[in-house]
Structure 1
Amino acid sequence: MHLVLPLSINGSMLNGQREKLAWCLRYKIALGVASGITYLHKGCQRRIIHRDVKSDNICLLKILNLRYLPPELFMQCTVDEKTDVYAFGLLLLELITGQPVIDDSHQSLVMWAKPMLIGKNYAELVDPSLGEAYQKVKLASICIHQSSTERPKMSQVVRMLKGNEGILPIK
C-alpha cells in the first residue's frame, strides 16, 4: 500500500470523473475488477476475499474508507465471496449511473436505484451518455440482491459481463 499510493498521482480514476468516462472505458474497468476478484476467489492457492471493492480502490486514493457493505455483514456478521459480489455490483451500478455510492445528502445509491430497478425504469438509471450500459443494469441488480445466496459467483459475473453467459433472472 505504501509503495502504490505515491505512484498513483491521479488518484482514483472515478473520483469526480464518472461523467467524463465513455462506456467502453467504464466497461473495461468493470471487467478488469470482476476478473481480479474472480482470481482472488478461484485462482489463488488460498481463497482471498477482498472485502473492500470500491471505485476509490481502482487506482487507490489517499482516503481509504469502507463504503460497500452488504446487508449480511450487518445482520449476521458473515463475510464470504458473495460480500465481494455485492461490492462489485455497487461498483458496476456506480459506473452505469455515474452516481456516487453515497451522495452529499447521505442517500445510498442502492436506496436511490432500487425503485427504478424494481420498476425496470432503466432509462432513469443509466448515465445518459452511455447507450450500451442498459444491458449491464440487470447484472448490477442481481449482484446487489438482498440475499447473498441469490447473488452469482464472480466467475459467472465475468462470463455475463463478457456476454458469454446470459444474465441470470432476478428473483
Structure 2
Amino acid sequence: MLPARRSRAARSPSREFEAEVDTLSSIRHVNVVKLYCSITSEDSSLLVYEYLPNGSLWDRIHSAGGGKTGLDWGTRYGIAVGAARGLEYLHHGCDRPILHRDVKSSNILLDEFFKPRIADFGLAKILQSGVAGKDSSTTTTHVIAGTHGYIAPEYAYTSKVNEKSDVYSFGVVLLELVTGRRPIEEEHGENEDLVCWVTRRTTSRESVTAMVDPSIRADSAIEEALRVLKVGVLCTARLPALRPSMRTVVHMLEDAVGRRSPDGIDSKHQSLDREIRFDKVSSYKL
C-alpha cells in the first residue's frame, strides 16, 4: 500500500501541486521522499509517495503515546544528520539550488528504521541563477509561506528568502530534537518562540543542561545533545550572514559526536566549543 495525497478539486492542478511534481521528479537522494507518480483528473490530483511507516518527526517528538514510542538520543541524532544531508543536497547537490521553504518536524518523515526523508515540496523554489549562499540566489515572494515558529525573521519582514531561511528553519528542528519542546508554547512566554526561549537560557551550564529533554538526559548523551543544541543556536542566528550553510551544518553535526575530524569545516565554523560559548551566546563571533 502506497500513501497518496489528494489536492482539492480544481479544473487544473494547483501551483503547489505542479511545483511538488516538478521538484521531486528532478531529485534523487536517500533523505528526500520518493515520488512514484502523479495522477490528475477533472476533479482531483494525486501524488503517490513511498510508504514511510513511522510517520513524522513531529509525531514522534510531541505525540508519543497511543502506540507510538519516544525517540532515544541515538535515533534523534541520526535523524538530525540525515535530514541535514537531505537539505545539503537540495542546496548544494542539484544543478540549481532548491529552497524548501517549509522545513519543519512534521515535514520530516521516518522510514521503518527511523531514517529521515524531507517531504512536502509544495512551497519549494528552484533558484534560476546564482550559487547557494550568494546574494544573487535570493528570491522575493509576494506571500509569506511557511509555518509560524519556523519562519526566519528576515523572511517575515522582507519577503526575501534564500537558503539561509531553510537553515534557520532546520535550526528550530534541532532545538526541538534536543529540548523536546514545540516551536510555539505558552510556557515560552508572551510573543516568544522556542528560539527566544533557548537563547534566554544560555547564560550558564546549569540552565543549558536543564533545557535538554528529560527523556534523553542520560550522562552518556548529554554532551552530544549540548553540541547539537549549539549547532541549532548557530542556525537560528538572527542575521542570515551569521548562519552556516547546510554543508557546514552537516560537518558540524558529524563532528558533534566525533564521527569526523573538523578539517572539512570552513574557517568560520571550525570548533563548536570555541565558536560559541553558551555563557556568551549573544556576542559570539564567526
Structure-2-length-normalised TM-score: 0.53
**2:236 equivalent to 1:144:** yes
Match 2:57 to one of 1, 9, 13? 13
Distance 2:238 2:204 in 1: 17
Distance 2:55 2:229 in 1: 26
Letter in 2 for 1:11: G
Structure having the larger proportion of residues in strand: 2
Question: How far did 1:3 drift?
Answer: 1.4
SS in 2 for 1:116: coil
Match 2:147 to one of 66, 70, 75? 66
**2:104 equivalent to 1:38:** no
Structure having the larger proportion of residues in helix: 1
Runs of 5+ in structure 2 lacking a partner?
Answer: 6-46, 110-118, 121-145, 217-221, 256-260, 263-270, 277-283
Letter in 2 for 1:24: G
Tell me, yes or no, if the aligned pair for 1:41 and 1:49 is still in contact at 8 Å: yes
Question: How far did 1:118 drift?
Answer: 4.8
Paired residues for 1:112-131 under 5 Å: 112-119=197-204, 121-130=207-216, 131=222
Instruction: Return closer, same or farther for 1:153/1:115 CA change in 2, 3 Å cut-off.
Output: same
Rg larger in 1 or in 2? 2
Question: How far did 1:41 drift?
Answer: 0.6
Structure-1-length-normalised TM-score: 0.86
Higher relative contact order, chain-length normalized (CA < 8 Å, sep 6+):
1
Computed over aligned residues only, the root mean square deviation of the Cα atoms, in angstroms, reads 2.6
Distance 2:58 2:166 in 1: 19
Identical columns (%): 38
Q: Deviations over 1:133-162 (max 9, x none)?
A: 112111111100011100001101000000
Letter in 2 for 1:127: D
Aligned residues: 168
SS in 1 for 2:201: helix
Match of 2:38 in 1: none
